[in-house]
Amino acid sequence: MLQAHVQDGKWSWLVCFSATLSWLAAMGFVYSFGIFFPVFMDYFHESREKTAWVGSLSFAVINFAGLASGALVIRFGCRVTALMGPSYAR
């Protein structure tokens, strides 16, 4: 038997918008690191090689954190995992 298609409600659009803002805030620095790169070099008086580690490590930490958060989502679910983040950051 075919079921009727249920259209997305206001809550689902709010969740989508919130997730987009969260992603932009988290990844904004990583993707715009090239803009801040000369500023970091001048401020810390370091070479290009040493300064580049900042961007590389931040990108690596975000990607490896995805492995841990994926395992937590499988074990505890999305809501509990989402609540773990702010409590861990304190």
Model-level pTM?
Answer: 0.60
Mean of the per-residue pLDDT values for the chain? 88
Asked whether the predicted pLDDT for residue 37 surpasses 90, the reply is yes
Q: Take residue 12 and report the two structure tokens written for it.
A: 């689902």
Looking at residue 9, what is its pLDDT? 85
Crossing angle of helices 48-76 and 33-44, in 10° steps, is 130
